[in-house]
Amino acid sequence: LNFDTLLGIGSSGDQVALLQAILAKNPSIYPSGIVSGYFGSLTETAVKNFQNKYGIDPLGIVGTKTITKLNEIKTAGINP
């Protein structure tokens, strides 16, 4: 499963759960580490932390640049 859909507050499903699982591998990015499949405020904050780390505008939504970086990390099997 690769990321291919824009995600933001209110999104849900497998891609959100995968996003949360990847972000949860780094407690400094996603301290709560909750993998619920629902994109809420905790996930939004984690996405902003991830975006800040990788020099992406911290909008808190998973757009094209964030999708590209998440797929790179997932493919490489490294922690964010």
User: Which DSSP string do the residues of 7-29 spell out, in sequence order?
Assistant: B-TT-BSHHHHHHHHHHHT-TTT
pLDDT value for 78: 85
Is a pLDDT exceeding 80 seen at residue 38?
yes
- How far out from the chain centre does Cα 27 lie? 13
* Per-residue confidence band for 45, with pLDDT thresholds at 50, 70 and 90: very high
> What integer is the mean pLDDT of 59-70?
97
Entry pTM: 0.95
* Per-residue confidence band for 39, with pLDDT thresholds at 50, 70 and 90: very high
